[in-house]
Amino acid sequence: MKNIVVLVSGGGTNLQALIDSERAGEIHGGRITCVISSKPDAYALERAKNNGIASRVIPRKDFSDSVSYSKAVLAALDEEKADLVVLAGFMTILDECVTRAYAYKIINVHPALIPSFCGEGFYGLKVHEKALEYGVKVSGATIHFVNEEADAGAIILQGTVDVKRGDTPEVLQKRIMENVEWKLLPKAVSLFCEDRIDIVDGRAYVKE
Ligand code: GAR
């Protein structure tokens, strides 16, 4: 069984989707062993507690820079013997000391179709604001490995939704979460835990 450690910063609906999938027996070969939050008041921590999952808080605001913060996260991941790290609405970019130590072992969910509307500064509702501002007709979410560059690691899964006239960022966000994020994140986590993701020349392929 692989130890899955989930990193969160906010509401934790993606964490909830993972918990529900695990409960439904849909995560093969792994279990969520710890939730780590960068914010002490994240509702995701309640979700962990309500489901009997251990949690830790490593507040981003207690650290002056990304490197010292990342070192603290790295120490926690090592202590938790993480086999897979899932960034589920984790709003802090991790330094390369973490991404190198856990190469191809960190999965992120990004609420757009990478390489559009991604990179530094594109997170949460801002992503949807920018997509609507541009006038795209489809958007979606991307599940990808995390490397040294923001939102640039190998893509595992992507899914799309239509953008409708009159959508607000909140409406589009909800459509993408319900139809893509909450389905594809647990799926990618299970594929990883079943060793069904191949990496070839820096690209990820799902073994059928
Ligand atoms: C999700 O839409 C996730 O894709 C996004 O933040 C939301 C978190 O919601 N993540 C990013 O923008 C990371 N760049 P949640 O806390 O309810 O899972």
Q: How far apart are CA 70 and CA 68, in angstroms?
A: 5
pLDDT tens by residue, 145-154: 999 999 999 9
3-state helix, strand, coil in the chain (%, to 5): 35, 25, 40
Q: The CATH number of the domain where 59 resides is what? A: 3.40.50.170
Catalytic residues: 110
Question: Does the structure show a pLDDT above 90 at 116?
Answer: yes
Atom 7, ligand 1: which residue's CA is nearest? 89
Specify whether the CB–CB gap between 101 and 74 falls below 8 A: yes
Question: Does the structure show a pLDDT above 90 at 205?
Answer: yes
pLDDT for the residue 197:
98
Specify whether the CB–CB gap between 2 and 86 falls below 8 A: no
Atom 1, ligand 1: which residue's CA is nearest? 89
Q: At what angle do helices 125-134 and 169-176 cross, to 10 degrees?
A: 110
Classify residue 114 as left (phi > 0), alpha (psi -120 to 50) or beta. Answer: beta
Give the total number of structural domains in the chain.
Answer: 1
pLDDT band at 208 (very low <50, low <70, confident <90, very high): confident
Give the residue-averaged pLDDT of 16-24: 98
Q: What is the β-pairing status of strands 155-162 and 84-87? A: unpaired
Identify which of 123, 143, 149, 172 to mutate to test ligand 1's pocket (most ligand atoms within 8 A of the CB): 123
Range of the domain at 192: 2-206
Give the residue-averaged pLDDT of 132-151: 97
Percent above pLDDT 70 for the chain: 100
Pocket of ligand 1 (CB under 6 A): 10-14, 44, 88-89, 109-111, 123-124, 127, 177, 181
pLDDT tens by residue, 35-87: 999 999 999 999 999 999 999 999 999 999 999 999 999 999 999 999 999 99
Burial state string for 148-183 with b = 16 or more CB within 10 A and e = fewer than 16: eebbebbbbbbbebebeeebebeebbebbbebbbbb
Strand runs (DSSP E) across the chain, as ranges? 2-8, 30-37, 55-57, 84-87, 106-110, 138-145, 155-162, 197-200, 203-206
Q: How far apart are CA 30 and CA 44, in angstroms?
A: 20
Question: Does the structure show a pLDDT above 90 at 202?
Answer: yes
Place of tokens 């409708």: 164
Backbone angles phi, psi at 61, to 5 degrees: -70, -15
